[in-house]
Chain A
Amino acid sequence: MGKPTRETPLQPKLESDDRFPHLTRRRVLAAAAAATAAVTIGAEPVPALEPLSDDMIAFKNLSVALTGISADKLAPATDALELKQDYFKWVMDRRPGPFTTLLQIAKANATAPQAIVDQSQANLDTRFLARSIVLMWYLGAWYAPDDLQRLVESRSGKPAFISHTVISPKAYTQGWLWRVIQAHPMGYSDMQFGYWTRKPEPLEDFISRTSIKGT
């Protein structure tokens, strides 16, 4: 998956049988709306801050490759939120085997994001866990890989209902979905009072800008 562009911020290269062949704004919004149907709030303790281990660097590279969001946005060097630590622990606690395999893939392809994406799709275990990780970053919620697999396999019939867990209040407010659609989650906004009177700022303000204005 390449880096997002302003015109097409998210076009993951997914298989044809995927339920979300193109993550357009409309589709992501629809998924988010469905996601509110069965919400439970996770109560995982937040792990202590740790320096980046080899595994964490691999998780960062894996996440960048899978989401298409730049590393300095997804996990900045000065990271006050440390979502990556929360997410790492969340996944490791639930799917240690496939997650370790994904980390190994990321370590072996540290400079080749497309290879990370391709190899993560090579078997069912890592394929659907990779999708869970994408949804985790974008929606702040956990969709179990088994459920995602069931969703794909029920494609010919009535779509299966799958539940999810909002990982934490922090994860809810920081889902990248909101930035991609130039909006904010319900009940939480860090935008300036009165923002609603204006058109949204450019997409780059939400997902990629790091330059300094006026210079």
Chain B
Amino acid sequence: MNHHTRLFALQSVGLVGLAMMIGETPARGQAPAQLCNTLSDSAPDPRDKDHPILTPIDASTKTAILTSGLPCAEIMTDKGPKGSENTGVENRQRGFDFYSWRTFIALNAPAASPNEIENAQGDTRTFWEDGNNFIPLLNVMLPGGIKPEWTPARRMVPAACQSLHVLHPDRMVVKMIEESFNQPFRTGPLIDQRNNYAVFDILMNKVMFDYIVRKKLYSRAGQMSEENSVLRVDFPPANNASNEVGAIMLKVSWKILTPEDNKNKFHHVEALVAAPATADEQNDPPCLERTLGLIGFHVVHKTKDRPQWIWTSFEHVDNVPEQKDVDARDADPAGHKLSSAYNFYDPSCSADKCPVNETPPRPWNPDPADKLQFRKTADGKLLFNSQITRVAPLTDATKRMNAQFQALLGNAVWKHYMLIGTQWPSSFPCSADKAPAGMADPRTDFEKQPDMNCAPAPTFMANSTLETFSQGDIPQASSSCMGCHGNATSYLRPKMPNDAYFSQSDFTFMLEKAR
């Protein structure tokens, strides 16, 4: 039993007595062996097969929800409770969102005491921040393509941060490259209301790391090797039935906290940030000691029945207002109030002076001399702060679920976070195509035409801190997790020119970072 399964075995202890909510009930007389979190958002009603009973998200289920660990797969139904007029998509969305919240809780539970998220303070180290559970991408794709080490103590620390790392070995180390400050497809950096760059990082769990090492995908040479000319990149999926956690990717966004910020409202870490190298790479970038507050959190989880992965996105509640609320405020300032402050929006600045969702003036690269602040004018005045709104409002259903989970979290710092949405492949006959063994098979799943993504639902989804400048609903231009990651490639070189697995990458851009 590996570390994960041991952890989840411990976490599954509150499940007894909750059989109504558990998706996969063991046969009578059989000892329960549930290690993955198999809570479901609903349970079948024995008296009415067409209308399930929704699982309450309140005090009656609080212990189970907060202590049951990571779900290894979604459990959902297209049916709604009696009286509900939701569509099949909306009913399934509820199941996926329920899965997302439990995933968020499991990954952000205290590393030292996974069942005590309710007591988590702002600086409580999370499960995913523990180096035994996740590793930053830049510790996997190393210079020269050398083989990476999983052991946290043996991971590479940027030269500029090494002396500080000796003094503060517990601090998170963030090495900044362009992807750490520039948004996908180089659409621009995000500058907060204190004039600091938002900082992004990418991590993976051990299942994903082990696959990359086993297949020698950590180097370009390894990807291009003869051995890998017949490889079909297929990261291991999670599976509730066999208690397999599966491959997980994280992308997180941080705000640099200043004394003016209420840091208790953020999950935060003391970090050593290796600033980006200068363009000429002539000088070592400085290593900065910064307090980083979590503002965005993507989880991408491959599960047995969703080979296109499940895409979960959370944000800090104070990031930005919804555009529709800004419009309402502008139309009726007395009747519609906004919050007094946001991380990336100034409610006192008019649309004329602060047009929304615009990128900063170039150049975008942080100047090492400015220490992760956006440059100022020659006479020291602010040049630009991002003025961001959320283009697509959260659905009412998601808002309701957020309120329910936030209430469960009591005074934990995590009550200040909200689910933006979950994107999932909605065409089940399409996404269920798989090899007889029950494992996802890229040959059948990703060759799918015309839509290898199997109709993502919702079609578009954007985190205001991670896909800030690609919000909207324009095909191919606006943010869609699967629509974008379906285009990811690798350095694999198939033997045959017409091979179906031409530079295939299984929905991750990580392999492109190999050196």
Contacts and interface: CB of A to CB of B under 8 A. Distances in A.
Interface of A: 49-51, 72, 76-82, 169-170, 172-173, 178-179, 182, 184, 187-195, 197-198, 200-201, 205-206, 209-215
A170 B459 contact: yes
B450 interface: yes
B475 A172 contact: yes
Interface stretch (B101-109, B173-181, B430-438): B430-438
A194 B436 contact: no
A205 B436 CA distance: 19
26 contacts: A51-B87, A79-B87, A80-B427, A80-B457, A80-B458, A81-B459, A170-B473, A188-B475, A189-B450, A190-B451, A190-B452, A191-B449, A192-B448, A193-B487, A193-B503, A194-B504, A197-B497, A197-B498, A197-B502, A201-B447, A201-B449, A205-B448, A205-B450, A212-B429, A212-B433, A213-B433
A212 B445 CA distance: 11
Contact of B504 (A193, A209, A215): A193
Interface string B109-133: 0000000000000000000000000
B338 to A, nearest CB: 24
Interface of B is mostly: loop
Interface residues on B, range: 35 or more
Interface stretch (B10-18, B34-42, B88-96, B266-274): B88-96
Contact of A179 (B450, B455, B504): B450
Contacts of B429: 72, 209-212
Given A193-B503, A194-B504, A212-B434, A80 B455 contact: yes
Contacts, number: 115
Contacts of A79: 87-89, 426
Interface of A is mostly: loop
Interface centre among A78, A81, A170, A191, by most chain B C-beta atoms within 10 angstroms, is A78
Given A51-B86, A78-B428, A194 B434 contact: no
Given A51-B85, A213-B444, A214-B436, 12 more contacts: A50-B87, A76-B427, A78-B427, A80-B426, A82-B87, A178-B450, A188-B476, A189-B450, A194-B500, A198-B500, A205-B449, A215-B436
B441 interface: yes
B475 A170 contact: yes
Nearest to A196: B502
Nearest to B446: A192
B344 to A, nearest CB: 27
Interface centre among B428, B432, B459, B475, by most chain A C-beta atoms within 10 angstroms, is B475
B240 interface: no
B78 interface: yes
A173 B475 contact: yes
B489 interface: yes
B383 to A, nearest CB: 35
